[in-house]
């Protein structure tokens, strides 16, 4: 059976990812700081007839993070899908925030995403199969002043964009999930339906559909998708121009190579 590793799997969106992947037939490696929450998620997913390995780790701690990196790099137990969901949000404005808390936010939201992805990709590319899902946030596009959490999520978006561009032809895919507000219980949500408040299960479903379609960015919810679509338009245009320029360079190199080959053949014949 395929295996997925989900960080931040003790509750919220991470637990929803784990439950959905279990229904799809994935064995799970569940990572978070909260053992009780992880055991609760593990018990829930095992009801789908899959295995669930619990790995307690604070991803802001280098030693604990190295344990997860080692699990991802273990060729004898390959991981087919990595979900980088764990995240820490410091609600204080930059100047009021404790520097140690800001560093922990960076270590969890940026360093862990980079190091775990690095640990997973080599094996995935060698097997020509695998996927990485990086959970970003709509805040990465439009943040409130002094919001350092939003800055880390902007990095996740940029990281995924550049890494996904390097993967075509490898059999490996990568996508950034960019949700807005979700009804995970983390924030007070209105009781009445609102297009600004998304259901986590619907967010996960949309992400996995977009991943299967080969997309590198998923923005669930019509309001968020409309805004991000407008903000992404210049970048999509530049990417399209870069691809055209790259094909043009490849064609010129191909023509130059054929001309050189013909010239060499003519010299040999002479």
Q: Name the residues annotated as catalytic.
A: 149
Give long-range contacts, CB 8 A cutoff, 24+ apart: 97-102: 97/148, 102/148
Order of strands across the sheet that contains 217-218: 52-56, 27-32, 3-7, 81-84, 130-135, 172-177, 217-218
Is 4 in contact with 25 (CB distance < 8 Å)? no
Phi-psi sector, 221: left (phi>0), alpha (psi -120 to 50), beta: left
Counting Cβ atoms within 10 Å, is residue 16 exposed (0-12), middle (13-18) or buried (19+)?
buried
């Amino acid at each position: 059976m395929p295996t997925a590793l989900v960080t931040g799997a003790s509750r919220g969106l991470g637990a929803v990812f784990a439950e959905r992947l279990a229904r799809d037939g994935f064995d799970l490696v569940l990572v978070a700081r909260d053992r009780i929450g992880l055991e609760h998620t593990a018990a829930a997913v095992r009801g789908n007839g899959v295995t669930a390995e619990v790995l307690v780790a604070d991803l802001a701690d280098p030693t604990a993070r190295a344990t997860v990196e080692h699990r991802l790099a273990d060729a004898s137990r390959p991981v087919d899908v990595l979900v980088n969901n764990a995240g820490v949000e410091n609600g204080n404005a930059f100047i009021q925030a404790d520097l140690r808390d800001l560093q922990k936010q960076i270590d969890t939201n940026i360093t862990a995403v980079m190091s775990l992805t690095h640990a997973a990709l080599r094996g995935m590319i060698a097997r020509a199969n695998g996927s990485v899902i990086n959970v970003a946030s709509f805040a990465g596009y439009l943040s409130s002043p002094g919001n350092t959490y939003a800055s880390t999520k902007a990095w996740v978006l940029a990281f995924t964009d550049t890494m996904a561009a390097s993967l075509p032809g490898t059999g490996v895919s990568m996508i950034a999930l960019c949700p807005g507000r979700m009804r995970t219980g983390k924030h007070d949500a209105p009781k009445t339906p609102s297009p600004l408040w998304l259901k986590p299960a619907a967010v996960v479903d949309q992400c996995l559909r977009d991943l299967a379609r080969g997309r590198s960015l998923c923005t669930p919810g019509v309001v968020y998708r409309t805004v991000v679509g407008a903000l992404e338009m210049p970048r999509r245009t530049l990417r399209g121009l870069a691809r055209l320029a790259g094909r043009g360079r490849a064609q010129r190199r191909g023509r130059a190579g054929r001309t050189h080959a013909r010239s060499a053949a003519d010299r040999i014949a002479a």
